[in-house]
Amino acid sequence: MANYSTSDFRKGLKVQLDGDPYIMFECNFVKPGKGQALYKCKLRNLLRGTVLDRTYKSGDSLEAAEIEEIQAQFLYRQQNQFVFMENETYEQYELSAEQVDDAWKYLREGMSCDIVLYNNHPISMTPPNHVVLRVEYCEPGAKGNTATNVSKPCKVDTGAEFPCPAFVNIGDLVRIDTRTGAYIERVKE
């Protein structure tokens, strides 16, 4: 198994601590006036989401995690399970509602997503940065509300609600940013 020395430490590094996979999301190099250089790191557990603060001396090393990212297509939702299929091997993976979290709001059948595997078991998924969704229900916009930045809740085909401008109507396609949940633009068919 590969090891990372302190000279390899950087943001985004995936390591294994106490048998669990972690991602390093912050790493600061500190050189005190006297003594050895230090690396102050913040690590997030990829299974539980907990955060660790650790300090390492130069020369220390960490074990690399068996993390793999694949492209997969969202097939369907079955109660609290989301089923994905890898694009190359056609292998199917199931993720629980807790693992998918709020990303369910953006999932349409056939959509391509990134899945993170740990020891060939899926642990999380990431939808594309922008998705196009169809508005299934919204209140009609009041005439004259076009000059100001007026928004209204619009229910889309995934079952989620997003704030959209007043000019959006039922049946429109809207582009949503999955990182913020914000409306970007109306899309022509």
Question: Which pLDDT tens digit goes with each residue over 137-149?
Answer: 988 866 665 556 7
Q: What is the pLDDT of residue 46?
A: 84
Ordered per-residue pLDDT tens for the chain, 189 residues? 688 888 888 888 889 888 888 888 889 988 888 888 899 999 988 888 789 999 999 888 999 888 888 999 999 998 889 999 998 889 999 998 888 888 889 998 999 999 988 888 888 888 999 999 999 998 886 666 555 677 888 999 988 899 988 888 888 999 999 888 888 998 887
Q: What is the pLDDT of residue 12?
A: 81
Instruction: Count the Cβ atoms, other than its own, within 10 Å of residue 178.
Output: 18
Q: What is the pLDDT of residue 23?
A: 86
The angle subtended at Cα 175 by Cα 174 and Cα 176, nearest 5°, is 115
C-alpha 158/C-alpha 173 separation (Å) is 12
Q: What is the pLDDT of residue 87?
A: 86
> Terminus-to-terminus CA distance in the chain, angstroms?
50
Q: What is the pLDDT of residue 102?
A: 85
Q: What is the pLDDT of residue 86?
A: 92
138 half-sphere exposure, CB direction, 13 A CA radius: 27
Map out the domains of the chain with their CATH numbers: 3-64 (2.30.30.30), 67-126 (2.40.50.140), 130-187 (2.40.50.140)
Measured between alpha carbons, how far is residue 147 from residues 81, 144, 151, 172 in Å? 44, 7, 12, 21
pTM (whole model) above 0.75: no
